[in-house]
Amino acid sequence: MRGSAIVAAAFAALASAAPAARIEERATTPTVYLAGDSTMALGGGGTGTQGWGEYLKYSLSIPVVNKAIAGRSARSYSVEGHFAEIAALVKPEDFVVIEFGHNDGGSLTPTDNGRSDCPGSGDETCNTDVQQDILTYPAYLIDAAKNFTSRGARVVIASPTPDNPWETGTFEYEASRFTTYANQSASGFAHAKFVDHGQLVGNAFQKLGASEVDGFYPNDHTHTSPEGAAIVAQTFVRGVICSKSFLKRHVKNETSSIVGSCL
């Protein structure tokens, strides 16, 4: 065979192998489940606001089920059984996006509000009059990610969105400890990726400037307007593409049209 014929034969072999693989991939349409707090949830933080989870569907070719619930932390979402509820639903190839932090801080003493995690990043436990064996933020997320990945699902753990970084009039974004914890939580899994959503939103909001971004926070410095939430969702999509999560296969937009750049 001449060189070009050998190449043609090789391509023919590849072409005949490809369709079977693709059919297998398409046998089930994956679903994306979202676990988070009010910054992600339907209805956001009240009138005039919306959670970014409601806008993710516009960028993906697969269904999004928003299971985020206002007021929840990694701890209360776990203890109330919401991760278990998602675990009972996930099928192999599904995705679970986990983003917490806004309700995880605070102290367990003198009053345990049922949301603050045990301080630390390892297997420390805390006891209060509300609950025994309270775990750390990473421990709750790692337990959930183990459950999801053992069922063949893929996980994205994202750092929390920033409070309005233009609040003081001067741009300020500093990652909280939950960014480090989210990164750490994802790091031990072959099928979990970290998205530094907080930094991506920070970068996008820095570019947009104070007056536009102030308008995205109609009620307080945490919850975004629908317009703000749509941008928060777009920056997440940028993060997914940069993270090399399998979820990037399901992004329908042209990469060049998506806001922001990789970190």
Binding pattern to ligand NAG, positions 21-60, x when CB under 6 A? -------------------------------------xx-
Active site (annotated) includes residue 250 = no
| Closest distance of CB 19 from ligand NAG, Å | 28
Does 176 bind ligand NAG (CB under 6 A)? Our answer is no
Residues 196-255 binding ligand NAG (CB under 6 A) are: 196, 230, 234, 237, 253
Q: Indicate which single residue of 8, 9, 13, 88 sits in contact with ligand NAG (rule: CB under 6 A).
A: 88
Does 180 bind ligand NAG (CB under 6 A)? Our answer is yes
Taking the least distance from each CB to ligand NAG, the nearer of 112 and 196 is 196
C-alpha separations of 127 from 101, 105, 116, 118 in Å: 20, 16, 12, 9
Q: Indicate which single residue of 80, 84, 130, 207 sits in contact with ligand NAG (rule: CB under 6 A).
A: 84
Active site (annotated) includes residue 143 = no
Residues 90-149 binding ligand NAG (CB under 6 A) are: 143, 147
Taking the least distance from each CB to ligand NAG, the nearer of 81 and 209 is 81
Taking the least distance from each CB to ligand NAG, the nearer of 9 and 84 is 84
Active site (annotated) includes residue 38 = yes
**Residue ranges that bind ligand NAG, judged by CB under 6 A:** 58-59, 84, 87-88, 143, 147, 179-180, 183, 196, 230, 234, 237, 253, 257-258
